[in-house]
A and B are shown apart, each in its own frame.
Chain A
Amino acid sequence: MGTFTKSATLAVPGLLAASGPLMAQSIDQQVNELFASSTGWFVNFIFSPFPGTSFPWIVAWLVIAATIFTLYFGLIQFRAFPHSIALVKGDYSDPNDAGEVSHFQALATALSGTVGLGNIAGVAVAVSIGGPGATFWMILAGLMGMASKFTECTLGVKYRNEYDDGTVSGGPMYYMTKGFAARGLPGGKFLAVMFAIFCILGAFGGGNMFQANQAHAQLTNVLGDYPGWITGIIFATIVFAVIVGGLKSIARVTEKVVPFMGVLYVLTALVILAMNADKIGWAFGQIFDGAFTGLGVAGGMVGALIQGFKRAAFSNEAGVGSAAIAHSAVRTKEPITEGFVSLLEPFIDTVVICTMTALVIIITGQLIADPETGLYLLNESGSAIQTVDGNSGVALTSAAFSSAFGWFRYVLAVAVILFAFSTMISWSYYGLKAWTFLFGEGKTTELIFKLIFCFFVVVGAAASLGPVIDFSDAAIFAMAVVNIVALYFLMPIVKAELNSYLARLKSGEIQKFQ
């Protein structure tokens, strides 16, 4: 202990003497270059377009899957919507099961993992690159994604592992192995291993680095510019305290404040929309026109569609498989009920919250259009629409909200940091489940994962947005590739569950309590 203190006091002045800002910048740059060069090939593969087009195959993959699930289950997201709400309210929960995980709790926890920067920063990226039209495709993707979520969460509960001590482990890894075995299909184990690998990468990417990166962007936006690795180390320390040190109090406070922040965010957006009520019609006009013409945005209609679908998938994670891990802990005799509940998740996340963000950005005039032609002006590199003050990502959303309420930039800063933090905690758990699936349960293996996780917090905060967002997207979509393959093979099981449940609901065998 004595030597540690001594060397620390010696090292700190040494570090400061080496002219802080210059050295800090070079650390950030080195991290950035190393990161971009080592992940580039993976990103290029996931986002490679169909030959001769600019349409990435991964976007088609998600759209087709969501469409197939929507049709196969007969528009389940609309048919089951009222029943989903009754389930969340607890109308069908046995009062004698009080004290067990309720449908509401499983939904709230899964939501706190998905509601986050995707809803604030991701949407800003989508509309600044794809134009207002991206919003249309985002909402459509959200509505169809409800069916994907329904499928994966039903399977997550049906094939979870329940251990003798009463704890549960669930998620795609388990339905791939057990579900495939139940149907007598080969390859379940292979898919499960692939999924687990991508889930770990996703946990480091979208569930971690992207969050750290945008939390830092938000902090510099409020506090002024300073090196990213500092934010990284502070965040990593807090995350470390929670996931390694078991400091439940921080996690608990976050779990309580996050829903409050979510509600405050939506309410503020609604107030801003009410203040600009005369422009709402115009904004929807922009969204519909942009969806089919692109309004002169780089990439046109296809660009809007790609951005909309990408950001929706990244935000609500439908088809990705992550939510199946969180939802699988619910106590229910009917796995399908959790499927019903989970389909509310993309609705709340994308159709409600993301749409609010997009509308506020559009209505407050953050995107600069040519007054004569009405087409949007592109920035110098031609990669995105010109915005007021050149903002992008979370800064764009912040500017949009604070153009109406100056103080909201501080609220948003706190919200972003809390959302980022709760998403990191959720994803550290998803990643850990995948990690233990691969390497077995055990204190040491778990600790190794958690340490690597904290390390990536620092990398994410120090790297610049471009490479981080590319890698985050790529890792999360790689999960979706594997997960959706499994869902295709297992969807008849979900259909059988659905038909049986609906028949019993109709016959009155399943009834409300009270």
Chain B
Amino acid sequence: MASKIVVGYDGSTSARSALDFALNVARAQGGSIVVAHVLEWSPYSFLSAEELAERHKRRSEELERAEQALIKPLLKDMETSGVDVTAEVKYGNIAEVLVKIAKSENADLIVIGRTGHSALSSRLFGSVAGTLAQAAPVPVTIVP
């Protein structure tokens, strides 16, 4: 069975563990991987007038930085992995965007790394893993 796996990736060690886990699964099943890097963003946040005027510029810079510092080295790294890896950089709520990508790519699995937040902060601010557990259309694996 050729499976497709969406991996939430932010460059952290646990995200890397998640990717390694996904690579193993994909190799075993002959599947492919979509690496998703989500830049946290809400259209309902508040910005100053100056930030508004510079927003388009900042957005381009942020996308460029993500592409150059994170995605490009990673994809280069993945060339030798023997698995078909593609990447997407998106803005939005992390869990919502992962769900959206899983749907649009017809993925079979979402893999994310553990963030290691305390129970309190997760309760206050919500966690990506918690939201995914409730909202994901496919199984979710959390890698420590």
A and B, one complex?
yes
**Which A residues are within 8 Å of any B CB, using their own CB?**
90, 93, 95, 98-102, 104-106, 108-109, 112-113, 165-169, 251-252, 255-256, 258-259, 325-326, 329-331, 425-426, 429-430
Known contacts A100-B56, A106-B52; is-contact A255 B62 (Cβ 8 Å)? no
In contact, A169 and B53 (Cβ under 8 angstroms): yes
In contact, A101 and B48 (Cβ under 8 angstroms): no
In contact, A104 and B43 (Cβ under 8 angstroms): yes
Please name the residue on chain B nearest to A162 by beta carbon: B56
Known contacts A93-B43, A98-B91, A104-B43; is-contact A109 B49 (Cβ 8 Å)? yes
CA distance A104 to B25 in the complex (A): 42
- Contact of B118 with A by CB under 8 A: no
CA distance A430 to B54 in the complex (A): 15
Q: Which residues of A contact B16 (CB under 8 A)?
A: none
CA distance A252 to B43 in the complex (A): 16
Known contacts A98-B90, A326-B52; is-contact A166 B46 (Cβ 8 Å)? no
Q: Which residues of A contact B91 (CB under 8 A)?
A: 98-99
In contact, A100 and B46 (Cβ under 8 angstroms): no
A-B pairs with lowest CB-CB distance, top 7: A99-B91, A166-B57, A102-B43, A329-B52, A98-B91, A255-B46, A429-B49
B23-56 interface mask toward A, CB cutoff 8 Å, 1 = contact, 0 = none? 0000000000000000101011111111011111
In contact, A109 and B92 (Cβ under 8 angstroms): no
* Cross-chain contact of A166 among B47, B48, B60 (Cβ < 8 A): B60
In contact, B59 and A165 (Cβ under 8 angstroms): no
Please name the residue on chain B nearest to A422 by beta carbon: B48
CA distance A98 to B92 in the complex (A): 7
Shortest C-beta distance, A241 to chain B (Å), equals: 14
Please name the residue on chain B nearest to A163 by beta carbon: B57
Shortest C-beta distance, A47 to chain B (Å), equals: 29
**Which B residues are within 8 Å of any A CB, using their own CB?**
39, 41, 43-50, 52-57, 59-60, 62-63, 90-92, 100
Shortest C-beta distance, A43 to chain B (Å), equals: 28
CA distance A145 to B63 in the complex (A): 40
CA distance A259 to B46 in the complex (A): 9
CA distance A113 to B52 in the complex (A): 13
Apart from the given pairs A99-B62, A166-B57, 19 other A-B contacts in the complex at a CB distance below 8 Å: A95-B92, A99-B41, A100-B55, A101-B56, A102-B43, A105-B45, A105-B46, A105-B52, A109-B47, A112-B46, A165-B57, A168-B53, A169-B53, A256-B46, A329-B53, A329-B55, A330-B52, A331-B56, A429-B48
In contact, B39 and A167 (Cβ under 8 angstroms): no
CA distance A425 to B46 in the complex (A): 14
- Residue with the highest number of chain B CB atoms closer than 10 Å, among A101, A112, A256, A331: A101
CA distance A429 to B52 in the complex (A): 11
In contact, A101 and B47 (Cβ under 8 angstroms): yes
CA distance A258 to B49 in the complex (A): 14
In contact, B48 and A251 (Cβ under 8 angstroms): yes
Can you list 21 A-B pairs with a CB-CB distance of less than 8 A?
Answer: A98-B41, A99-B62, A100-B59, A101-B55, A104-B43, A105-B44, A105-B47, A105-B52, A106-B52, A109-B48, A112-B46, A167-B56, A167-B57, A259-B46, A326-B49, A330-B52, A331-B55, A331-B56, A426-B49, A429-B48, A429-B50
Q: Which residues of B contact A95 (CB under 8 A)?
A: 92, 100
CA distance A256 to B46 in the complex (A): 6
Q: Which residues of B contact A425 (CB under 8 A)?
A: 48-49
Q: Which residues of B contact A108 (CB under 8 A)?
A: 46
